[in-house]
Amino acid sequence: MNLANSHQMLFAFFTLITGLLFIKTGYEESGVGQDDPLLSVGHYFTEEEGAEFLKRMKNQYSTAEEWELRADRIREQILKGSGLEKYPERSPLNPILGDERIYDGYKVQNVAFESLPGVYVTGSLYLPVDAEGVLPGVLSPHGHWTNPGDVGRYRPDAQKRFASIARMGAIVFAYDMVGYGQMDELGWEHRHPEALKLQLWNSIRATDFLISMGADPDEIASTGASGGGSQTFLHTAVDDRISVSVPVVMVSAHFFGGCVCESGMPIHKSEDFQTNNVEITALAAPRPLLLVSVGGDWTKNTPEIEYPHIKHIYSLLGKPEHVENVHFAEEGHSYGHNQRAAVYPFLARHLGLDLRKAVNPDGSLIEEGIVIEEQESLYPFVDENAIPAHAVRHNDDVVWTN
């Protein structure tokens, strides 16, 4: 056996094991019921079934008008299935703002706001040091990374991304998914039956918050990887204020996400309807969309299956140039160095950012001077900003007011 073949076999084996571990974690810890006929969970389709489904759907929309009818039905199912068919009242955000830390070309401020009365969304704002006036905004939801020292938005690669985009001239809001970070320590659960509903609502309100903090309402992007990729395309699908969408290592014709926050509510299916995450992602059309895929997970077929289908939809709407795919055939499931190097030019082009602040002329990243802060240093609730007494501390205590 030659070295090249040996490398390919090892990579294939690693991919298989990684996928199996993810599925086990997603199913066993999430409480998602695979026997629920209205849920599409994890590897709900085989790869062949996913491709065949898209082929059948493509035959149903050959004009812009036909796609718009399909898009309305998909969006309706997302909102109905998540319990957000009627939005709750947009209560005051009541932001809590911590002190700013100034670093090389950017600054960080820990923040929290109320998405519902007593329900605090925790996160950090990253801004350019010379920020003035209205800036493009970037929402940064995160995925299911839970190893100590490598959690959610606190991961070193995530902090590098937030700082780099801020250096380029945007205001970045990196926020915790339900039950992560400080909220986890206060009692919130991520793997809760209604995590999808609350998480999606938190993202909608995060857009309100970002705009209230000085982001241009006409220039709001969202980008995240893995479960953060799911949150990116779900949020983009129902909120037309997201003008640029970059879901990383998540858009798949056959994989629906293994966590309750992705597939634990009937957003993909009803008794007479079925969609998948490719069609949901395509609801971004004709807004700029970048699909980032790798060979080491369920996005391995994106250049041949998912991307052509979405580009067909963009073509129907007269904007085929607004959708792109960057594929890394020999990389695994991450928002790593190469993925960041692919995303920054796309964001710069569509948000009017200064790419020279994050990427050298040879394509290498400029990450010197970025400070990786400890997880607790990024918590908004500290002695001088204690969590309010009325704060909700568990999912079961959320009150939805319409």
Rounded-to-integer distance, Cα 199 and Cα 78, Å: 13
In a domain, 322, yes or no: yes
Identify the pLDDT of residue 33: 54
In a domain, 11, yes or no: no
Mean pLDDT score across all residues of the chain: 92
Range of the domain at 217: 96-378
pLDDT for residue 8 is more than 80 = no
CATH, residue 211: 3.40.50.1820
C-beta separation of 345 from 359 below 8 A: yes
Identify the pLDDT of residue 149: 87
pLDDT for residue 69 is more than 60 = yes
**End-to-end CA separation in angstroms for the chain:** 65
DSSP code for 385: B
Rounded-to-integer distance, Cα 37 and Cα 35, Å: 6
CB proximity list for 108: less than 8 A, separation 6 or greater: 100, 101, 124, 125, 126, 163, 373, 378
In a domain, 15, yes or no: no
Question: How many Cα neighbours within 13 Å face the side chain of 86?
Answer: 4
Structure tokens belonging to residue 24? 């086990």
In a domain, 242, yes or no: yes
Band of pLDDT at residue 28, cut at 50, 70 and 90:
very low
- Percent of all residues in the chain with a pLDDT value above 90, rounded to a whole number: 88
pLDDT tens figures, 353-401: 999 999 999 999 999 999 999 999 999 999 888 999 999 999 999 999 8
CA-based nearest residue to 145, from 40, 254, 25: 25
pLDDT tens figures, 233-279: 999 999 999 999 999 999 999 999 999 999 999 999 999 999 999 99
Identify the pLDDT of residue 131: 79
pLDDT tens figures, 272-312: 999 999 999 999 999 999 999 999 999 999 999 999 999 99
CB proximity list for 369: less than 8 A, separation 6 or greater: 103, 104, 105
In a domain, 185, yes or no: yes
Question: How many Cα neighbours within 13 Å face the side chain of 36?
Answer: 19
Rounded-to-integer distance, Cα 376 and Cα 181, Å: 8
Identify the pLDDT of residue 34: 57
Length of the chain, in residues: 402
pLDDT tens figures, 116-126: 999 999 999 99
Report the pLDDT averaged over residues 161-167. 98
Structure tokens belonging to residue 299? 């996005």
Identify the pLDDT of residue 139: 98
Rounded-to-integer distance, Cα 205 and Cα 197, Å: 12
pLDDT for residue 23 is more than 80 = no
Number of domains in the chain: 1
Sign of CA dihedral 225, 231, 233, 236: negative
Neighbours of 312 (CB within 10 A): 18
pLDDT tens figures, 179-222: 999 999 989 999 999 999 999 999 999 999 999 999 999 999 99
Rounded-to-integer distance, Cα 399 and Cα 401, Å: 6
pLDDT for residue 63 is more than 80 = yes
CA-based nearest residue to 76, from 86, 67, 61, 65: 86
Identify the pLDDT of residue 3: 41
Identify the pLDDT of residue 20: 42
pLDDT for residue 25 is more than 70 = no
Q: Which residue has the higher pLDDT, 225 or 10?
A: 225
Neighbours of 132 (CB within 10 A): 7
Q: What's the chain's Rg over C-alpha atoms?
A: 20
C-beta separation of 183 from 153 below 8 A: no
Rounded-to-integer distance, Cα 87 and Cα 318, Å: 31
Identify the pLDDT of residue 194: 96
In a domain, 84, yes or no: no
- Percent of all residues in the chain with a pLDDT value above 70, rounded to a whole number: 92
Band of pLDDT at residue 87, cut at 50, 70 and 90:
very high
Sign of CA dihedral 70, 73, 78, 79: positive
Report the pLDDT averaged over residues 85-104. 96
Identify the pLDDT of residue 278: 98
Phi, psi of 160, deg, nearest 5: -65, -40
Rounded-to-integer distance, Cα 211 and Cα 205, Å: 10
CA-based nearest residue to 180, from 387, 379, 337: 379
Using a 10 angstrom Cβ sphere, with 0-12 exposed, 13-18 middle and 19 or more buried, the burial of residue 225 is buried
In a domain, 49, yes or no: no
pLDDT for residue 11 is more than 50 = no
Identify the pLDDT of residue 32: 55
